[in-house]
Amino acid sequence: MPTATSVATSVAASVSTSVAAYTRLFTIPGARAFTLGNLIARFPSGMFSISAVMLISGTRGSYALAGALGASGLVASAVVGPWLARQVDRRGQAQVAVPATLVAAVGVLALLLCVRLDAPDWALFVAYLPTAATPNTGGMSRARWAHLLKDEPQALHTANSFEQAADELCFMLGPVVAAFLCSALFPEAGAVVGVVLMVTGVLLFAAQRSTQPPARPRTEATKTPLRARGMPSLLVVFLATGAIFGSLEVVTVAFADTLGHKAWAGVVLALQALGSGAAGLAYGALKPSGPADRRHPLCVAAMAALMALPLLAAWGTGSLYVLGGALLVAGMATAPTMVTGMTLVQQRTPEGRLNEGMTLAVTGLLGGIACGSATGGAAVEHWGPTAAYAVPVTAAVTALVLSLHGCARRTRQPR
């Protein structure tokens, strides 16, 4: 039977190995610089959505309108995003990301102006459309790691896990910061600070030219990622996964609002991201067993099972504290699912189209978030926030069914 000393020694050795795996990444020349710029640029991704929900629901009194506005922006991003990524692959990251970011910033500021001027609802949708030009900074960072670590699969697994943890950090702290700014200062404060961070971060990231992948002009022989074997079924799973995130955010804000603690919604959502980020870092330090296409359905199954916890917590207790604990645990399956999914995207994307392939995955997520946001907002108004937690559960089960179907279909297809 192991003693307390042996257990402590084993844990310490495991932690040391984990730290060493991540530390090694940043000994690569230029890695720290592009990561810092990318983190600053990516942080607002966790701010904009909840800022819009709090702003629109507060000024117009409608969660349905807030959800529909967010959904429209995400749908527009789903259309524009792959085209932008294609330009990044052809022309280079810096040449495309900077002007695209400036266009997106104009869209956010136009929305704030329309709200301030009490413009009609349709004007909000028109003003918000330019935000579709927001570049996929997370995808560009993953593309840099894939370029730098193309011959080191274990190190690339660790880098992908770090990137997922970085995403979760943004979605953990971003809502907290946005909710605080919107509540403590003025309703538009979260979006304004987000724009400043986004522009600053992209400029810093784009300035790091030595680590960016080389531009790959398109040729007739280059296959589009959409036609790559296994990609369509994988993208549909990303779509269903996004619906979990989109609905969970709107429903949680509404649930906190009914308890009189709307300002704490960001903190509660941050717990879900905290669980995911911690699990992602631990997962990245491990050597994965078996191919990614076999691990993926298992990760999705764990995510679907744990996603029932928020519904049970809201229904059974009605407590925001218990809900926060349920979200913390539920989030622990999210990062492994996303890391494994992104690994599959990298494996299945044709050479020279990596930014496009990963942006298609993010596009699937955004499309799902849009559907989930709109569905979650409608469910809140028709069923109430407690029953509306059935929406993310349904989305998670759908993701599992699609993942199992895609895995079975890929096994049957000849190579």
Among 54-63, 134-143, 260-269, name the one with the lowest average pLDDT.
Answer: 54-63
- Identify whether 158 is part of a domain: yes
> Does the pLDDT value for residue 290 go beyond 90?
no
Q: What's the per-residue H, E or C state across the chain? A: CCCHHHHHHHHHHHHHHHHHHHHHHCCCCCHHHHHHHHHHHHHHHHCHHHHHHHHHHHHHCCHHHHHHHHHHHHHHHHHHHHHHHHHHHHHCHHHHHHHHHHHHHHHHHHHHHHHHCCCCHHHHHHHHHHHHHCCCHHHHHHHHHHHHCCCCHHHHHHHHHHHHHHHHHHHHHHHHHHHHHHHHCCCCHHHHHHHHHHHHHHHHHHCCCCCCCCCCCCCCCCCCHHHCCCHHHHHHHHHHHHHHHHHHHHHHHHHHHHCCCHHHHHHHHHHHHHHHHHHHHHHHHCCCCCCHHHHHHHHHHHHHHHCHHHHHHHHHCCCHHHHHHHHHHHHHHHHHHHHHHHHHHHHHCCCCCHHHHHHHHHHHHHHHHHHHHHHHHHHHHHHCCCHHHHHHHHHHHHHHHHHHHHHHHHHHCCC
pLDDT of 312 strictly over 90 = yes
CA pair distance 135, 363, nearest whole angstrom? 11
Q: Return the pLDDT at 5.
A: 47
Specify burial of residue 263 (Cβ count, 10 A radius: 0-12, 13-18, 19+). Answer: middle
Instruction: Encode pLDDT of 117-128 as tens digits.
Output: 877 878 888 888
**Closest among 77, 87, 202, 60 to 128, alpha carbons compared:** 77
Which pLDDT tens digit goes with each residue over 360-380?
888 888 778 878 888 888 898
| Model confidence band, residue 410 (pLDDT cutoffs 50, 70, 90) | low
> Residue 411: what pLDDT?
58
Q: How many residues does the chain have?
A: 415
Asked, for residue 12, whether it belongs to a domain, the answer is: no
pLDDT at 141: 86
Look at the alpha carbons of 400, 402, 403, 405 in this order and tell me if their dihedral is positive or negative. Answer: positive
pLDDT at 3 over 60: no
The answer on pLDDT for 21 being more than 90 is: no
Question: Which residues, 6 or more positions from 74, have their beta carbon under 8 angstroms from its beta carbon?
Answer: 246, 366, 367, 369, 370, 373
The phi, psi pair for 182, rounded to 5°, reads -65, -35
pLDDT computed for residue 32 by the predictor: 86
Residue 331 lies in a domain: yes
Residue 7 lies in a domain: no
pTM of the model: 0.74
- pLDDT confidence tier of residue 341, bands split at 50, 70 and 90: confident
Instruction: State mean pLDDT over 389-403.
Output: 91
Question: Residue 131 in contact with residue 198, Cβ under 8 Å?
Answer: no
The answer as to whether 13 is a domain residue is no
Question: Phi then psi for 27, rounded to 5 degrees?
Answer: -85, -10
Looking at residue 16, its pLDDT comes to: 55
- What's the structural domain count of the chain? 1
Residue 78 lies in a domain: yes
Q: What angle do CA 130, 132, 133 make, to 5 degrees?
A: 80
Which CA distances in Å does 20 have to 155, 229, 289?
11, 35, 20
Q: Which tokens go with 144?
A: 């840099």
Rg of the Cα atoms in the chain: 21
Domain residue limits at 293: 23-412
pLDDT score, position 12: 43
pLDDT tier at 327, thresholds 50, 70, 90: very high
Residue 6 in any domain: the answer is no
Higher-pLDDT residue of 249 and 6 is 249
What pLDDT does 18 receive?
A: 60
Residues 6+ apart with CB under 8 A from 358: 85, 136, 139, 142, 143, 342, 345, 346, 349
pLDDT tier for residue 308 given thresholds of 50, 70 and 90: very high
pLDDT at 162 over 80: yes
The more confident residue out of 239 and 280 is 239
Cβ–Cβ under 8 Å, residues 266 and 390: no
Mean pLDDT of 28-35: 85
Q: Is the pLDDT at 413 greater than 70, yes or no?
A: no
**What value does the mean pLDDT of the chain take?**
80
| Amino acid making up residue 242 | G
Any residues with CB less than 8 A from the CB of 335 and at least 6 apart, and which? 161, 164, 165, 168, 276, 277, 279, 280, 283
Query: Is residue 10 very low, low, confident or very high in pLDDT (cuts 50, 70, 90)?
Result: very low
- Mean pLDDT throughout 27-31? 83
Give a yes or no: residue 17 inside a domain: no
Q: What percent of the chain has pLDDT over 70?
A: 89
Give Dmax over CA atoms of the chain in angstroms. Answer: 70
Confidence of residue 6 (pLDDT cuts 50, 70, 90): very low
pLDDT band (50, 70, 90) for residue 4: very low
Q: What is the CATH number of the domain that holds 28?
A: 1.20.1250.20
Quote the CA–CA distance of 103 and 88 in Å, as a whole number: 16
pLDDT of 189-230, one tens digit each? 788 898 999 999 999 988 888 888 887 766 554 567 777 777
At residue 197, the pLDDT reads 92
Stronger pLDDT, 319 or 286, i.e. the higher one: 319
Mean pLDDT (whole number) for 167-175: 76
